[in-house]
A and B are shown apart, each in its own frame.
Chain A
Amino acid sequence: MSKEKVGVYVCHCGTNIAGTVDVSDVATWAGENNDNVAVARDYKFMCSSLGQELIEEDIKEQGLTRVVVAACSPHMHEKTFRGACERAGLNSYLFEMANIREHDSWATTNKEAATQKAKALVNAAVDRVVQQSPLEPIPVDINPNTLIVGGGIAGITAALELADAGNHVILVEREPSIGGHMAQLDKTFPTLDCSACILTPKMFDAGNHDNITLLSYSEVESVDGYIGNFTVNIRKKAKSVDEELCTGCGICEEKCPIRVVDDVFEAGLGYRKVCYRPFPQAVPKFPVIDRENCTYFRTGKCRLCETSCPTNAIKFDQEDETLQLTVGNIILATGYDLFDARRIPQYGFGRYENIFSSLEFERMVNAAGPTSGKIVLRDGVTTPESVAIVHCVGSRDKNYNEYCSKVCCMYSLKFAHLVHERLPDAECYNFYIDMRTPGKGYEEFYHRLLEEGTHFIRGRVANVTDAALNDNEVNKLIVQAEDTLIGTQRRIPVDMVILSSGVESRHDAKEVTQLFKMGCDFDGFFIERHPKLDPIATMTEGIFIAGACQGPKDIPDSVAQGAAAAARVAGLIQRGTVMMEPVRAHIDQEKCSGCRICNNMCPYNAIVFHEDRNVSEVVTALCQGCGTCVAACPSGIISGAHFTNDQVFSEIEGILWDVSPEKVLA
């Protein structure tokens, strides 16, 4: 085997690496210690254009056959350096990166140890790279259909952007109507736009667009495949209504005799029928029968909806339907859940009648809500004379959620405004820790509330109680907090308390990540590819995220992310083909004994078994290169491209360069 000519480049990364690792020592040592190294340099910023040119020139002038860059994580710049190699005519899989930043200089302050480790890592990379073979990326076609999961404002935006650009979209929504949380709101901050007025036109467009297939009251059951080629199974839950016949007249809903508390759209503040549409402007307009509470499904009686329907659209025998679709990309826009304030017993939610959650209050002030927009106490009749709004409920609290929910200060101010508007004589108190108003027009909105006469008390509420200590407090809810700007404890008796609960991930977020094979963080929010530079992609190719499912955010940010995800997908569709990493497994079929151990090990279902020849085969396109089958094969005849045994063992021996065999065996 002719000797390879390896170029080693040790990056300073400013002081990130050079501050701890003696980079020039490492470079010099690499040149002297390893026979294969033809060139060894150190440079301040290898990823810069000058740094890359250094590599390219050396390849051309020195005839390098392999390149090693010792720098940051391959997640950061493997692509960058591979590009440099390709430009100079060297196959990019003849390149290897040694991570001496995240794995070394950022892991310790001990300079000596860090330098030693860097040398070992570089040596390992060199020994590995000489074992590597050239590989070619695999082209994959992108199916032009896109699946969008979640019909809230982020999902609707993404769907419309893609559809208007001429692409076909399947929009799946689990509730009977699209609209999400935004449809529940009355006014939106800071402009006080009517939420329904700005949302319903978009809902209408999404529901009637030629390029959008809307599947409401449906859920994704399984996802298989890879970018450009996802096979998705969607369960269309039985609405008990024939959509071809239904005209949306609403008579069935009127006639239905059973009403239940509406926990979803009315946030528990109002009722809905069992045969219902979540709200009058629902898209699609078809009602749905809640079989769990329906008299017919429970006892066989009633059937009023069926008999009153003028077009015979009620079909009790309708069953769930499963659709299988192929899409190229998926955008998840599944939204958020509101923090359940019952978890904080000292705030009394659920124990005292006149304490309301934020979504309950939203529904109350909504003109189409259970009180037609009147602010009243839980008896439905009495007007409160004083209202307290409690910020940071379940947020910024290590006992519940440590993060700040971003939108609550603004919506709390909005509530204060609505109280002033509808109850001009009422006193309104906002209890806060910090006033967070970072968006456009937000601080000005805060000033408006100051002008309107809101009493702002800087103090996190300790508890809300009805235990009166004197006559002023009888029959009131007493909010106790320290007014930190004065430095005394205050008890403010009010008639109504609104808890500004925080934003949480959906309760089934973890299950969703498992379904789509991407990840979520400890709070359940989906993990983006890069928190600063790529908030809409995930680590799984072809799956994107948008809106509150990625983290708490308001409507403008959700719309922006929805549009961004759509743009990314549109770009992929336009390209038509995507190049996939050739890091895949390959079964030597001559040597395969047909034991099939690998078949069930594959998490991507990428191995097929040929009964006629009694051998297994890896479907290259489905394989994600995880290496499980490679390790599992008892005959050792599955090889992982770019992770062959020779490559991995050389790397290990390279790391152990300074450990003599005697030491190991002793």
Chain B
Amino acid sequence: MNKDNSSNKKNKYKSIIQETIARNSSKRKMKNNLITILLCSFVIIAIIPLSSILIEVFKNGVGALSFDFLFQPPGSIGSQGGGIGPAIQGTLLVVGFATLIGAPVGILAGVFLSEYSSSSRIFAYFLRLFNDVLTGIPSIVIGIAGYITIVLTLGSFSILAGAFVLSIIMIPIVARVSEETLKLVPNTLREAAYGLGLPKWKVVWHIVIKGSKSGILTGIVLAISRIAGETAPLIMTILGTSLFFGGFNSPVDALPLRIWRLASQPYPSAHEQGWGAALLLILLVLSLSIALRMIAQKRSITFKTTT
């Protein structure tokens, strides 16, 4: 009798539990679906501005593009003519010089962190910390430092000052990516090189660095796409101008700076040129980003197949 009662109770409880689970599971499933939809809408919220920006820049800027626009200096204020030739040239030159300074320094710093950090752990720790701190310093603050150290000392706005501040922004990005890429080179390769009797510097240079070329290039391209869009530090170092490059101690122009100046004007022709310049800048930066992605993906495949 007792056994019957207990098994009946068990069955009762079992059915109650099953019922509850069945009821709750549809509630839980609904909650799960609702939240999935909510999070999906978050993604859409994030993507809408991006597509709006791309559409607006393309829509408003494509009308400004022409041969004159790309190669001529600006015309009289408010007039239809002229272009942003000096700005394009300026961006290429300033970014180019900044890369000449920033890329080697960044790569070598990354090499230190990856290959030589064992010789002084404390130094490496502080280097890594300050490197990360440097990434986070607002670019306008770096611009102030550049103004005080270069513009005031040399006595003029110049491409050197601009390249200097952009290189400071570039170094930590290149260093961080280089360090991580170099660390990925398997130790077996290093040991093999040592075993063959190569001195350390040859090991680092020929084996490690040359073996991480695409990764390091990724870092450099990432940094370039970042500094090509920087405006604030350029305001106080290159000043901006309507002329083409005139020497190492004259002001130069740059795309982001020109966009800022054009956007602040009330003339529709200036606005149109501003959108056109923005289109060029965004094309430059986006194509670099996409190229970056493709290199990065190719690289991960390459490494998988070796070790």
Q: Do A and B bind each other?
A: no
CB within 8 Å of A: which residues of B?
A: none
